[in-house]
Amino acid sequence: MDARTLVSHSREELLRRNAIFESYFKQEAPRLAEACHEMSRRFLAGGRLLAFGNGSAASDAEHVSVEFVHPVIVGKRALPALDLGPDFEKRLPVVLRPEDMVMGFAFPEPDAAVERALTAARERGALTFALTGEAGEYSFAPPDADPFVTQEVFEVLYHVLWETVHVFFEHREQGHDVGNSSFLYPFLGKGEQPLQEVVREVQDSMLQKVRETNRLRAAAADSEAGAVAETAVAVSERLRAGGKLILFGNGGSATDANDLAADCVDPPPGMSTIPAVSLSAEPANVTAIANDIGVEAIFARQLIAHAHPEDVAVGISTSGGSANILAALAEARKRGLLTVGIVGYDGGRIVGERLADHALLVRSDYIPRIQEVQASIYHVLRGLLEELG
């Protein structure tokens, strides 16, 4: 592909997702609102959200866990969620309680182990979600033949579940006062409303969130398509020279780093492998370094051990200002690596201090929407790397 074709392809790939998202969530919003209503009841009864998946889908189970336990909106309560890890079939029967909720991820097609686990959980009274597959009480078909698009849609889906369950949670507890959800859901106001009216309003709010994601993705298609294409060319040159991707991020961005690493080393059928490691997927190293040196060193210290000059350091950050991301990119620069930042807001210090040779921006200040469009961007980048061979 020549440069102009790469830019055009990047833009088209980002934009084509919008119609898929709009159609899918128009269809699923009523079921999602109903599911959130039941989830709030189960959380209030002491239930937990248990998530799992194999391969690249495992990163979505990690993402679900961190979204519910460590909410991105200040003042939101932590809700109990667990990533059951790769041996979920053995763990689930031991830890499951009837009041729990269980979410199994599998794409590009259903996974037999995930299906078995969901079936067993449903038989024991748990509320079950299959993404994809047919074993869940709430089962969701893939929205597109492209597994990357499916993953992106499902990321929006569980973000919307997280955002919306708090509305029902607080509505049930307070009735007349929606607390910290009021700025997200002004339609709830200060007066108590019939719950069915809340369900209808929540459906509309879900679609508004999806349209905001689509708006940001369209803006990124206009502003970032050239940068994505340039990044792909630069990264592919390093890969041809024997380099690898070294990925890192915090929280939800850690799961994105893990996802992109999995997309490289265990890609969808028909795609070639790319050498990649995620420093966020090393909990023993992360905790050891954080304990012995400090949180700021958790990625830089690992990078020192793994980096070669032909490698590519990719920092994923919604803020562009996390100290450990800045330190790792600075260390990578010293060692001659190509540096890439996938960032939100205005790029933060990563852009301001020019720590990234290539910066891919999602210009927003709301973390779930930033992460959703970042996933589209790095998936399109991964597709271009495949094209460039």
Q: Give the domains, in start order, of the chain with CATH numbers.
A: 3-212 (3.40.50.10490), 223-388 (3.40.50.10490)
Local confidence band at 109 (pLDDT 50, 70, 90 cut-offs): confident
Calpha distance 103→127 (Å, rounded): 9
pLDDT reading at 191 higher than 80: no
Burial class (CB in 10 A: 0-12, 13-18, 19+), 334: exposed
pLDDT at 173 over 90: no
> Across-strand partners of 278?
247
pLDDT at 348 over 90: yes
Query: Counting beta carbons within 10 angstroms of the beta carbon of residue 233, is it exposed (0 to 12), middle (13 to 18) or buried (19 or more)?
Result: middle
User: Is residue 169 very low, low, confident or very high in pLDDT (cuts 50, 70, 90)?
Assistant: low
Cα–Cα distance, 49 to 40 (Å, whole number): 11
Phi and psi at 217, nearest 5°, equal -70, -40
For residue 186, the 8-state DSSP code is G
DSSP state of 271: P
Count the alpha carbons within 13 Å of 114 in the hemisphere toward its beta carbon: 31
In Å, how far are 126, 133, 150, 191, 251 from 116, measured between CA atoms?
A: 14, 11, 21, 45, 29
pLDDT of the residue at 74: 54
Identify the band that residue 178 occupies on the pLDDT scale cut at 50, 70 and 90.
very low
- Complete DSSP assignment for 353-367: TT--SEEEE---S-H
Residue 150 near residue 376, CB atoms below 8 Å: no
Residues 6+ apart with CB under 8 A from 108: 142, 145, 147, 150, 268, 269
pLDDT confidence bin for 180, thresholds 50/70/90? very low
- Of all residues in the chain, the percent with pLDDT exceeding 70 is 91
- pTM here is 0.92
What average pLDDT score do residues 344-362 get?
Answer: 97
pLDDT reading at 262 higher than 80 = yes
| Nearest one of 129, 13, 132, 6 to 375, comparing CA atoms | 13
How confident is the model at residue 257, as a pLDDT?
Answer: 98
Supply the pLDDT for residue 190: 41
For residue range 306-347, what is the model confidence (pLDDT) as tens digits?
Answer: 999 999 999 999 999 999 999 999 999 999 999 999 999 999
- CA-to-CA distance for 338 and 135, rounded, in angstroms? 44
- Separation between Cα atoms, residue 50 and residue 121, nearest integer Å: 10
Least confident of 31-40, 62-71, 165-174, 240-249: 165-174
**Residue 184 clears pLDDT 90, i.e. is over it:** no
**Please, are residues 163 and 369 in contact by the beta-carbon 8 Å criterion?**
no
pLDDT band at 171 (very low <50, low <70, confident <90, very high): low
Which has more pLDDT, 182 or 34?
34
Banded pLDDT at 165 (limits 50, 70, 90): confident
CA pair distance 303, 241, nearest whole angstrom:
19
